[in-house]
Chain A
Amino acid sequence: MTVDLEKVNSIIEKYRDDREAFIALLQDISAEYRYLPEEVIRYVSEEIEVPVSRLFSLATFYTSFRLEPRGEHEVQVCMGTACHVRGAPRMLDKVTQKLNIKPGETTEDKRFTVETVNCVGACALGPLLVYDGKYYGKLTQWKIEKLLEGSNDEDDQSS
Protein backbone atom coordinates (compact mmCIF):
# COMPACT_ATOMS: atom_id res chain seq x y z
CA MET A 1 0.00 0.00 0.00
CA THR A 2 1.45 3.32 -0.96
CA VAL A 3 0.61 6.32 1.09
CA ASP A 4 0.51 9.96 0.26
CA LEU A 5 3.60 11.53 1.75
CA GLU A 6 2.43 15.10 1.12
CA LYS A 7 0.46 15.10 4.33
CA VAL A 8 3.44 13.84 6.26
CA ASN A 9 5.55 16.71 5.06
CA SER A 10 3.22 19.26 6.57
CA ILE A 11 3.21 17.35 9.85
CA ILE A 12 6.99 17.23 9.88
CA GLU A 13 7.04 20.94 9.10
CA LYS A 14 4.88 21.61 12.12
CA TYR A 15 7.48 20.07 14.42
CA ARG A 16 10.52 21.51 12.68
CA ASP A 17 11.56 23.59 15.64
CA ASP A 18 10.64 21.03 18.23
CA ARG A 19 13.01 18.23 17.50
CA GLU A 20 12.13 16.25 20.57
CA ALA A 21 8.39 16.08 20.02
CA PHE A 22 8.41 12.59 18.55
CA ILE A 23 5.34 11.46 20.37
CA ALA A 24 3.28 14.44 19.28
CA LEU A 25 4.51 13.89 15.77
CA LEU A 26 3.55 10.24 15.80
CA GLN A 27 0.17 11.15 17.23
CA ASP A 28 -0.48 13.52 14.36
CA ILE A 29 0.52 10.89 11.85
CA SER A 30 -1.65 8.37 13.59
CA ALA A 31 -4.58 10.81 13.50
CA GLU A 32 -4.03 11.35 9.79
CA TYR A 33 -3.78 7.70 8.71
CA ARG A 34 -5.49 6.06 11.71
CA TYR A 35 -2.36 3.93 12.08
CA LEU A 36 1.36 4.31 11.62
CA PRO A 37 2.32 3.03 8.18
CA GLU A 38 5.83 1.61 8.03
CA GLU A 39 6.80 3.70 5.00
CA VAL A 40 5.73 6.85 6.73
CA ILE A 41 7.77 6.06 9.81
CA ARG A 42 10.81 5.31 7.69
CA TYR A 43 10.31 8.48 5.70
CA VAL A 44 9.91 10.62 8.82
CA SER A 45 13.04 9.11 10.31
CA GLU A 46 15.05 10.21 7.28
CA GLU A 47 13.51 13.66 7.23
CA ILE A 48 14.01 14.47 10.89
CA GLU A 49 17.27 12.54 11.07
CA VAL A 50 16.28 10.31 13.90
CA PRO A 51 17.03 6.57 13.81
CA VAL A 52 14.02 4.46 12.83
CA SER A 53 14.70 2.29 15.84
CA ARG A 54 13.77 5.14 18.15
CA LEU A 55 10.48 5.81 16.42
CA PHE A 56 9.69 2.10 16.24
CA SER A 57 10.40 1.79 19.93
CA LEU A 58 7.89 4.55 20.72
CA ALA A 59 5.35 3.26 18.24
CA THR A 60 5.33 -0.16 19.89
CA PHE A 61 5.46 1.14 23.45
CA TYR A 62 2.18 3.04 23.42
CA THR A 63 -0.93 1.01 22.82
CA SER A 64 -2.63 3.98 21.19
CA PHE A 65 -0.24 3.63 18.27
CA ARG A 66 -0.98 0.87 15.81
CA LEU A 67 1.21 -0.46 13.07
CA GLU A 68 -1.59 -2.22 11.24
CA PRO A 69 -4.37 -0.48 9.32
CA ARG A 70 -7.61 -0.24 11.28
CA GLY A 71 -11.09 -1.21 10.30
CA GLU A 72 -13.68 1.37 9.40
CA HIS A 73 -15.21 1.15 12.88
CA GLU A 74 -13.30 0.75 16.11
CA VAL A 75 -14.85 -1.20 18.93
CA GLN A 76 -13.10 -0.98 22.26
CA VAL A 77 -14.48 -3.14 24.99
CA CYS A 78 -13.61 -1.99 28.50
CA MET A 79 -12.04 -4.73 30.59
CA GLY A 80 -11.29 -2.51 33.57
CA THR A 81 -12.03 -3.80 37.05
CA ALA A 82 -15.44 -2.19 37.40
CA CYS A 83 -16.61 -3.30 33.99
CA HIS A 84 -15.09 -6.71 34.55
CA VAL A 85 -17.18 -7.41 37.63
CA ARG A 86 -20.22 -6.14 35.80
CA GLY A 87 -19.79 -8.72 33.09
CA ALA A 88 -17.32 -7.31 30.57
CA PRO A 89 -15.91 -10.73 29.66
CA ARG A 90 -19.35 -11.84 28.45
CA MET A 91 -19.72 -8.63 26.49
CA LEU A 92 -16.36 -9.19 24.88
CA ASP A 93 -17.35 -12.73 24.01
CA LYS A 94 -20.46 -11.42 22.38
CA VAL A 95 -18.56 -8.90 20.29
CA THR A 96 -15.87 -11.32 19.22
CA GLN A 97 -18.41 -14.03 18.37
CA LYS A 98 -20.55 -11.64 16.45
CA LEU A 99 -17.63 -10.36 14.37
CA ASN A 100 -15.74 -13.64 14.42
CA ILE A 101 -12.37 -12.12 15.34
CA LYS A 102 -10.12 -11.97 18.36
CA PRO A 103 -9.40 -8.78 20.29
CA GLY A 104 -6.73 -6.81 18.45
CA GLU A 105 -7.87 -8.04 15.06
CA THR A 106 -9.71 -6.50 12.17
CA THR A 107 -12.52 -8.22 10.29
CA GLU A 108 -11.73 -9.43 6.83
CA ASP A 109 -14.03 -6.91 5.21
CA LYS A 110 -12.06 -4.21 7.09
CA ARG A 111 -15.24 -2.95 8.71
CA PHE A 112 -14.46 -3.55 12.38
CA THR A 113 -11.44 -3.56 14.62
CA VAL A 114 -11.94 -4.94 18.11
CA GLU A 115 -9.77 -4.10 21.06
CA THR A 116 -9.87 -4.30 24.80
CA VAL A 117 -9.06 -1.29 26.94
CA ASN A 118 -8.58 -0.92 30.66
CA CYS A 119 -10.98 1.54 32.22
CA VAL A 120 -12.01 4.54 30.24
CA GLY A 121 -13.09 6.41 33.35
CA ALA A 122 -16.82 5.78 33.13
CA CYS A 123 -17.05 2.89 35.55
CA ALA A 124 -20.57 3.76 36.70
CA LEU A 125 -21.79 2.92 33.22
CA GLY A 126 -20.16 -0.47 33.03
CA PRO A 127 -20.08 -2.78 31.29
CA LEU A 128 -19.10 -0.46 28.57
CA LEU A 129 -17.70 -0.22 25.11
CA VAL A 130 -16.44 2.61 22.99
CA TYR A 131 -17.63 2.58 19.41
CA ASP A 132 -15.81 5.03 17.17
CA GLY A 133 -15.03 7.22 20.13
CA LYS A 134 -18.59 7.17 21.50
CA TYR A 135 -19.35 5.53 24.84
CA TYR A 136 -22.04 2.90 25.08
CA GLY A 137 -22.73 1.99 28.67
CA LYS A 138 -24.91 -0.46 30.61
CA LEU A 139 -24.34 -2.95 27.85
CA THR A 140 -26.44 -5.97 27.17
CA GLN A 141 -25.92 -8.61 24.55
CA TRP A 142 -28.91 -7.26 22.75
CA LYS A 143 -27.50 -3.73 22.65
CA ILE A 144 -24.28 -5.07 21.20
CA GLU A 145 -26.23 -6.96 18.59
CA LYS A 146 -28.06 -3.83 17.53
CA LEU A 147 -24.96 -1.66 17.62
CA LEU A 148 -22.93 -3.92 15.40
CA GLU A 149 -25.79 -4.32 12.98
CA GLY A 150 -25.67 -0.60 12.46
CA SER A 151 -28.98 0.39 14.07
CA ASN A 152 -27.56 2.36 16.92
CA ASP A 153 -30.50 4.55 17.77
CA GLU A 154 -29.86 7.46 20.06
CA ASP A 155 -31.75 6.05 23.08
CA ASP A 156 -29.09 3.46 23.69
CA GLN A 157 -26.31 5.92 24.07
CA SER A 158 -25.17 6.80 27.49
CA SER A 159 -22.65 9.52 28.13
Chain B
Amino acid sequence: MVSITINGREIKTDQEDITLLQLARSEGIGIPTLCFHKALLPYGACRLCVVEVTGGQNTKIVNSCAYPVREDGISVQTNTPKLKQIRKNILEFLLARCPEIDMVKKMASGLGVKEKRLPEKSLPEDQTEECILCGLCVRVCGEVIGKEAISFVHRGAEREVAAPFYSQSKDCVGCTACHFVCPTGAIKVKESGNKRFISPWNTEITLVTCEMCGISFAPENSGEYLQAKLGLPAEWLKLCPQCRRKVAAETMGKYDFTSRNVILKK
Protein backbone atom coordinates (compact mmCIF):
# COMPACT_ATOMS: atom_id res chain seq x y z
CA MET B 1 0.00 0.00 0.00
CA VAL B 2 1.39 3.34 -1.04
CA SER B 3 -0.04 6.59 0.19
CA ILE B 4 0.66 9.86 -1.58
CA THR B 5 -0.94 13.26 -1.87
CA ILE B 6 -2.02 14.81 -5.14
CA ASN B 7 -2.85 18.50 -5.01
CA GLY B 8 -3.08 18.16 -1.24
CA ARG B 9 -5.51 15.29 -1.33
CA GLU B 10 -4.40 12.05 0.23
CA ILE B 11 -4.71 9.04 -2.04
CA LYS B 12 -3.90 5.43 -1.30
CA THR B 13 -3.31 2.67 -3.76
CA ASP B 14 -2.18 -0.91 -3.62
CA GLN B 15 -2.12 -1.35 -7.37
CA GLU B 16 1.36 -2.21 -8.44
CA ASP B 17 2.75 -0.41 -11.46
CA ILE B 18 0.02 2.17 -11.51
CA THR B 19 1.33 5.43 -12.90
CA LEU B 20 0.79 8.88 -11.44
CA LEU B 21 -1.38 9.76 -14.39
CA GLN B 22 -3.63 6.73 -13.99
CA LEU B 23 -3.96 7.29 -10.26
CA ALA B 24 -4.74 10.98 -10.65
CA ARG B 25 -7.31 10.32 -13.33
CA SER B 26 -8.96 7.57 -11.33
CA GLU B 27 -9.43 10.17 -8.61
CA GLY B 28 -10.92 12.61 -11.04
CA ILE B 29 -7.88 14.86 -11.23
CA GLY B 30 -7.34 15.93 -14.82
CA ILE B 31 -3.89 16.08 -16.37
CA PRO B 32 -3.62 16.96 -20.06
CA THR B 33 -1.95 14.41 -22.34
CA LEU B 34 -1.32 13.95 -26.02
CA CYS B 35 0.79 10.89 -26.52
CA PHE B 36 -0.93 8.74 -23.91
CA HIS B 37 -3.51 6.13 -24.73
CA LYS B 38 -4.83 3.68 -22.21
CA ALA B 39 -4.44 0.73 -24.55
CA LEU B 40 -0.75 1.46 -25.07
CA LEU B 41 2.43 1.52 -23.06
CA PRO B 42 3.53 4.92 -21.75
CA TYR B 43 5.70 6.71 -24.28
CA GLY B 44 6.66 9.99 -22.67
CA ALA B 45 6.99 12.02 -25.85
CA CYS B 46 4.70 15.02 -25.56
CA ARG B 47 5.60 16.05 -22.01
CA LEU B 48 2.22 17.64 -21.53
CA CYS B 49 1.48 15.43 -18.57
CA VAL B 50 4.26 16.90 -16.44
CA VAL B 51 3.69 17.15 -12.71
CA GLU B 52 5.81 18.25 -9.76
CA VAL B 53 6.80 15.47 -7.42
CA THR B 54 8.13 16.37 -3.97
CA GLY B 55 9.79 13.79 -1.83
CA GLY B 56 11.68 15.06 1.20
CA GLN B 57 13.63 18.16 0.20
CA ASN B 58 13.56 17.65 -3.51
CA THR B 59 10.99 18.68 -6.03
CA LYS B 60 11.34 17.39 -9.53
CA ILE B 61 9.30 17.64 -12.66
CA VAL B 62 8.37 14.30 -14.17
CA ASN B 63 6.02 13.10 -16.86
CA SER B 64 3.18 11.49 -14.96
CA CYS B 65 2.23 9.05 -17.71
CA ALA B 66 5.44 7.11 -17.23
CA TYR B 67 6.01 7.68 -13.52
CA PRO B 68 5.15 4.66 -11.40
CA VAL B 69 3.66 5.30 -7.97
CA ARG B 70 6.11 3.55 -5.68
CA GLU B 71 7.45 5.92 -3.03
CA ASP B 72 5.28 6.34 0.00
CA GLY B 73 4.59 9.86 1.16
CA ILE B 74 5.49 11.85 -1.96
CA SER B 75 3.38 14.85 -2.69
CA VAL B 76 2.37 15.70 -6.22
CA GLN B 77 1.17 18.97 -7.70
CA THR B 78 -0.46 18.89 -11.09
CA ASN B 79 -1.12 22.50 -11.92
CA THR B 80 1.48 24.90 -10.51
CA PRO B 81 2.39 28.07 -12.44
CA LYS B 82 5.63 26.41 -13.49
CA LEU B 83 3.82 23.43 -14.97
CA LYS B 84 1.35 25.66 -16.71
CA GLN B 85 4.22 27.52 -18.28
CA ILE B 86 5.83 24.30 -19.48
CA ARG B 87 2.59 23.14 -21.06
CA LYS B 88 2.08 26.50 -22.65
CA ASN B 89 5.54 26.36 -24.19
CA ILE B 90 4.91 22.90 -25.59
CA LEU B 91 1.66 24.03 -27.17
CA GLU B 92 3.39 27.01 -28.69
CA PHE B 93 5.75 24.67 -30.47
CA LEU B 94 2.93 22.43 -31.59
CA LEU B 95 1.02 25.43 -32.82
CA ALA B 96 4.00 26.58 -34.81
CA ARG B 97 4.25 23.13 -36.33
CA CYS B 98 0.54 22.54 -36.96
CA PRO B 99 -1.19 25.92 -37.08
CA GLU B 100 -4.18 24.50 -38.96
CA ILE B 101 -5.15 21.73 -36.59
CA ASP B 102 -8.26 22.50 -34.57
CA MET B 103 -7.38 20.20 -31.76
CA VAL B 104 -4.00 21.87 -31.29
CA LYS B 105 -5.58 25.32 -31.49
CA LYS B 106 -8.17 24.41 -28.91
CA MET B 107 -5.66 22.91 -26.57
CA ALA B 108 -3.39 25.90 -26.95
CA SER B 109 -6.06 28.43 -26.17
CA GLY B 110 -7.27 26.22 -23.34
CA LEU B 111 -3.83 26.42 -21.80
CA GLY B 112 -3.66 30.14 -22.24
CA VAL B 113 -1.55 30.55 -25.38
CA LYS B 114 -2.72 33.88 -26.75
CA GLU B 115 -0.41 34.93 -29.50
CA LYS B 116 1.90 33.11 -31.85
CA ARG B 117 5.44 33.84 -30.84
CA LEU B 118 7.19 31.25 -32.96
CA PRO B 119 7.44 31.27 -36.73
CA GLU B 120 5.30 28.63 -38.42
CA LYS B 121 6.89 25.61 -40.01
CA SER B 122 7.50 26.45 -43.63
CA LEU B 123 6.02 24.05 -46.11
CA PRO B 124 5.16 24.17 -49.80
CA GLU B 125 2.02 26.26 -50.50
CA ASP B 126 -0.49 23.47 -50.81
CA GLN B 127 0.65 21.49 -47.80
CA THR B 128 -0.16 21.70 -44.13
CA GLU B 129 1.49 19.81 -41.35
CA GLU B 130 -1.01 17.68 -39.54
CA CYS B 131 1.19 15.26 -37.65
CA ILE B 132 2.46 16.11 -34.17
CA LEU B 133 4.65 12.99 -33.98
CA CYS B 134 2.95 11.62 -30.91
CA GLY B 135 3.65 8.13 -32.19
CA LEU B 136 0.22 6.75 -31.30
CA CYS B 137 -0.31 5.29 -34.76
CA VAL B 138 3.09 3.65 -34.81
CA ARG B 139 2.53 2.17 -31.38
CA VAL B 140 -1.02 0.97 -31.88
CA CYS B 141 0.12 -0.80 -35.04
CA GLY B 142 2.94 -2.54 -33.22
CA GLU B 143 1.56 -3.08 -29.75
CA VAL B 144 -2.09 -3.81 -30.37
CA ILE B 145 -2.27 -5.01 -33.96
CA GLY B 146 1.15 -6.65 -33.79
CA LYS B 147 2.17 -5.54 -37.27
CA GLU B 148 4.61 -2.62 -37.34
CA ALA B 149 3.45 -1.65 -40.79
CA ILE B 150 4.55 1.95 -40.25
CA SER B 151 7.41 3.56 -38.37
CA PHE B 152 9.17 6.82 -37.72
CA VAL B 153 11.56 7.65 -40.52
CA HIS B 154 14.33 10.22 -40.90
CA ARG B 155 15.19 12.36 -37.93
CA GLY B 156 15.28 15.84 -36.54
CA ALA B 157 13.19 18.30 -38.48
CA GLU B 158 12.54 15.71 -41.20
CA ARG B 159 11.17 13.10 -38.83
CA GLU B 160 7.82 11.73 -39.92
CA VAL B 161 5.76 8.58 -39.89
CA ALA B 162 5.70 6.55 -43.06
CA ALA B 163 5.30 3.12 -44.53
CA PRO B 164 8.56 1.45 -45.60
CA PHE B 165 9.97 3.13 -48.70
CA TYR B 166 6.89 5.34 -48.79
CA SER B 167 5.01 2.69 -50.66
CA GLN B 168 2.24 0.24 -49.87
CA SER B 169 3.25 -1.62 -46.76
CA LYS B 170 2.89 -5.36 -47.12
CA ASP B 171 2.45 -5.62 -43.36
CA CYS B 172 -0.55 -3.29 -43.30
CA VAL B 173 -3.72 -5.20 -42.56
CA GLY B 174 -5.97 -2.24 -43.28
CA CYS B 175 -7.48 -2.17 -39.82
CA THR B 176 -7.33 1.66 -39.60
CA ALA B 177 -6.40 1.55 -35.92
CA CYS B 178 -3.84 4.26 -36.72
CA HIS B 179 -6.59 6.48 -38.07
CA PHE B 180 -8.65 5.78 -34.99
CA VAL B 181 -6.02 6.81 -32.44
CA CYS B 182 -4.66 9.81 -34.34
CA PRO B 183 -5.50 12.89 -32.27
CA THR B 184 -5.17 15.39 -35.11
CA GLY B 185 -6.87 13.62 -37.98
CA ALA B 186 -3.66 13.42 -39.96
CA ILE B 187 -4.41 9.88 -41.08
CA LYS B 188 -7.13 9.77 -43.67
CA VAL B 189 -9.10 6.76 -44.71
CA LYS B 190 -11.21 6.75 -47.82
CA GLU B 191 -13.41 3.99 -49.05
CA SER B 192 -14.82 3.54 -52.49
CA GLY B 193 -16.33 0.35 -53.82
CA ASN B 194 -14.50 -2.52 -52.26
CA LYS B 195 -11.28 -0.55 -51.79
CA ARG B 196 -10.01 1.21 -48.72
CA PHE B 197 -7.26 3.83 -49.01
CA ILE B 198 -5.15 4.96 -46.10
CA SER B 199 -3.60 8.09 -47.46
CA PRO B 200 -0.38 8.92 -45.68
CA TRP B 201 0.83 5.33 -46.02
CA ASN B 202 -0.04 5.03 -49.71
CA THR B 203 -1.88 1.89 -48.86
CA GLU B 204 -4.79 0.32 -50.68
CA ILE B 205 -6.72 -2.55 -49.16
CA THR B 206 -9.38 -4.74 -50.72
CA LEU B 207 -12.45 -5.26 -48.59
CA VAL B 208 -14.83 -8.18 -48.18
CA THR B 209 -18.54 -7.65 -48.71
CA CYS B 210 -21.30 -8.19 -46.19
CA GLU B 211 -23.25 -11.39 -46.72
CA MET B 212 -26.53 -9.67 -45.97
CA CYS B 213 -26.44 -6.26 -47.60
CA GLY B 214 -23.46 -6.46 -49.93
CA ILE B 215 -21.63 -3.46 -48.51
CA SER B 216 -17.81 -3.64 -48.40
CA PHE B 217 -16.50 -3.34 -44.91
CA ALA B 218 -13.61 -5.44 -43.61
CA PRO B 219 -10.10 -5.97 -44.98
CA GLU B 220 -9.98 -9.04 -47.16
CA ASN B 221 -6.61 -10.64 -46.74
CA SER B 222 -6.15 -9.97 -43.08
CA GLY B 223 -9.63 -10.52 -41.73
CA GLU B 224 -8.71 -13.77 -40.02
CA TYR B 225 -5.57 -12.28 -38.57
CA LEU B 226 -7.45 -9.36 -37.04
CA GLN B 227 -10.26 -11.55 -35.83
CA ALA B 228 -7.85 -13.81 -33.93
CA LYS B 229 -5.64 -10.97 -32.73
CA LEU B 230 -8.42 -8.82 -31.39
CA GLY B 231 -10.74 -11.64 -30.32
CA LEU B 232 -13.55 -10.51 -32.57
CA PRO B 233 -16.68 -12.63 -33.01
CA ALA B 234 -16.86 -14.92 -36.03
CA GLU B 235 -19.64 -12.89 -37.73
CA TRP B 236 -17.20 -10.01 -37.87
CA LEU B 237 -15.97 -11.31 -41.18
CA LYS B 238 -19.38 -12.03 -42.63
CA LEU B 239 -21.64 -9.16 -41.72
CA CYS B 240 -21.11 -5.44 -41.78
CA PRO B 241 -21.67 -3.51 -38.53
CA GLN B 242 -25.20 -2.42 -39.53
CA CYS B 243 -26.32 -5.91 -40.38
CA ARG B 244 -24.70 -7.26 -37.25
CA ARG B 245 -26.69 -4.74 -35.27
CA LYS B 246 -29.84 -5.75 -37.09
CA VAL B 247 -29.25 -9.41 -36.31
CA ALA B 248 -28.52 -8.56 -32.70
CA ALA B 249 -31.69 -6.48 -32.45
CA GLU B 250 -33.74 -9.29 -33.90
CA THR B 251 -32.29 -11.75 -31.43
CA MET B 252 -32.89 -9.32 -28.62
CA GLY B 253 -36.47 -8.93 -29.81
CA LYS B 254 -37.10 -12.48 -28.78
CA TYR B 255 -36.54 -11.55 -25.15
CA ASP B 256 -39.29 -10.21 -22.99
CA PHE B 257 -37.84 -7.21 -21.26
CA THR B 258 -41.06 -6.28 -19.52
CA SER B 259 -40.65 -9.06 -17.07
CA ARG B 260 -37.65 -8.83 -14.73
CA ASN B 261 -36.78 -12.39 -15.56
CA VAL B 262 -35.69 -12.57 -19.09
CA ILE B 263 -37.74 -15.21 -20.79
CA LEU B 264 -37.21 -16.40 -24.26
CA LYS B 265 -40.40 -15.92 -26.28
CA LYS B 266 -41.29 -18.70 -28.59
**A57 touching B153 in the complex, CB below 8 Å, given contacts A38-B165, A51-B148, A52-B164:** yes
**Once the chains bind, are A53 and B154 in contact (CB under 8 Å)?**
no
**A56 touching B154 in the complex, CB below 8 Å, given contacts A51-B147, A51-B148, A51-B171:** no
**Once the chains bind, are A60 and B153 in contact (CB under 8 Å)?**
yes
Chain B interface residue count, CB cutoff 8 Å, equals: 16
Which A residues lie within 8 Å of B169 (CB)? 52-53
Per-residue contact bits, chain B 118-158, to A (CB 8 Å; 1 contact, 0 not) = 00000000000000000000000000000111111111000
Identify which of B147, B148, B151, B154 gathers the most chain A CB atoms within 10 Å of its CB.
B151
Contact of B154 among A41, A42, A52, A60 (CB under 8 A): A60
Which A residues lie within 8 Å of B155 (CB)? 60-61
Residue on A nearest B147 in the bound complex, by CB? A51
- Shortest B136–chain A CB gap in Å is 15
**Once the chains bind, are A61 and B154 in contact (CB under 8 Å)?**
yes
- Shortest A63–chain B CB gap in Å is 9
| Bound: A56/B164 CA distance, A | 6
Which B residues lie within 8 Å of A60 (CB)? 153-155
Which A residues lie within 8 Å of B170 (CB)? 52
**Once the chains bind, are B151 and A57 in contact (CB under 8 Å)?**
yes
Q: 8 Å CB contacts to B: which residues of A65-98?
A: 67
- Shortest A49–chain B CB gap in Å is 11
Identify which of B147, B165, B169 gathers the most chain A CB atoms within 10 Å of its CB.
B165
**Once the chains bind, are A52 and B153 in contact (CB under 8 Å)?**
no
**A51 touching B149 in the complex, CB below 8 Å, given contacts A60-B154, A61-B154:** yes
Binding site for B on A (CB under 8 A): 38, 41-42, 51-57, 60-61, 67
Q: Can you identify 16 A-B contacts, CB atoms within 8 angstroms?
A: A38-B165, A41-B164, A51-B151, A52-B164, A52-B165, A52-B170, A52-B171, A53-B148, A53-B150, A53-B163, A53-B169, A53-B171, A54-B151, A55-B164, A56-B164, A67-B165
